[in-house]
Amino acid sequence: MADGFHSISDGASNIVGMIGIVMASKPKDIDHPYGHKKFETIASMFIGTMLLFISFNVIKSSISKLFNPSTLEVSLESLIIILITLFINIFVASYENRQGQKLNSQLLIADSLHTKSDIFVSIGVLIALFSVKLGLPPVIDTITSFVVAFFILHASYEIFKDNLSSLTDKVMLDQEVVVDILDEFDDIKNVHNIRSRGYKDYVFLDMHIKVDSKLSVDEAHSLVHKVENTLSDRLGKKIDIIIHVEPE
């Protein structure tokens, strides 16, 4: 059954997830001045990779079943266990996703997708078992396994899509939005070299601004603080900003 292959990843993903959360929660230090949050990203990518390999194993098993079909055994005990597991996974996936969105934790969201793939696996197994009960041919299990593999692949894709942005330092803020906000400051004459990277909830931003050459150092310093506070408030994110001030 495809459910057997998929269960291999459950324990490993929990271990990797715990390690990722512990490492990511460490404060900034001399060797990691930008923090340790990328450990969470790496752990999420590992879970995605693990699901990718599991899906390939399921596909391989499904192809094997096409040439070596077998009859499925149906028992009341196995049905009860699968149903209990299904309801538990529905609760866990929903809770993990809510907490992941609330805490902006890509790792929790990744694990919720992993758990969600368990849900589809269990549903697929139930379909295969009831098909046997109805006297349908064993090939139903093979078809179900292919469907299960698709859902696991989709979960893996979602994890990679959500984490590659931060891992590859993709732009996290729209430059035009930043410029529009800074245009409200009369002392700022020009904004350029805007760069951003980071995560959905925590962004590293640097830029160059041109100001009146008559501005004192204290006035320029005060202006920079106002810019930092305004951007954080308006964009609703925690932003670590470095601003290079140039005279006009």
Closest CA to 24 of 96, 108, 115: 108
The yes-or-no verdict on residue 3 having pLDDT over 60 is no
Q: What is the pLDDT of residue 180?
A: 92
Closest CA to 44 of 189, 172, 162, 205: 162
C-beta neighbour count of 99 within 10 angstroms: 14
Q: What is the pLDDT of residue 8?
A: 58
Q: What is the pLDDT of residue 205?
A: 92
Torsion angle of C-alpha atoms 29, 32, 38, 40, degrees rounded to 10: -30
The yes-or-no verdict on residue 195 having pLDDT over 90 is yes
Give the pTM: 0.76
Q: What is the pLDDT of residue 65?
A: 74
C-beta neighbour count of 126 within 10 angstroms: 16
Domain coordinates in residue numbering, the chain: 2-167, 175-247
The band of 72, judged by pLDDT with boundaries at 50, 70 and 90, is: low
Q: Classify domain 175-247 at the CATH superfamily level.
A: Cation efflux protein, cytoplasmic domain (3.30.70.1350)
| Ramachandran angles phi, psi of 195, nearest 5° | -135, 140
Q: Tell me the three state secondary structure of residue 196.
A: strand
Q: What is the pLDDT of residue 83?
A: 86
Asked if 166 contacts 159 with a C-beta cutoff of 8 angstroms, the reply is no
Q: CATH second-level architecture of 2-167?
A: Up-down Bundle (1.20)
Asked if 206 contacts 241 with a C-beta cutoff of 8 angstroms, the reply is yes
Structure token pair of residue 139: 């090939």
The yes-or-no verdict on residue 155 having pLDDT over 90 is no
The yes-or-no verdict on residue 7 having pLDDT over 70 is no
Q: Which of 58-67, 73-82, 103-112, 239-248 has the highest mean pLDDT?
A: 239-248
DSSP string, 7-69: HHHHHHHHHHHHHHHHHHTSPP-SS-TT-STHHHHHHHHHHHHHHHHHHHHHHHHHHHHHHS-
Structure token pair of residue 212: 């009146």
Q: What is the pLDDT of residue 2?
A: 47
Closest CA to 178 of 126, 241, 131: 241
11-25, 67-81, 157-171: segment of lowest average pLDDT = 67-81
Asked if 104 contacts 201 with a C-beta cutoff of 8 angstroms, the reply is yes
Closest CA to 243 of 215, 202, 210: 210
What is the percentage of the chain residues whose pLDDT exceeds 70?
93
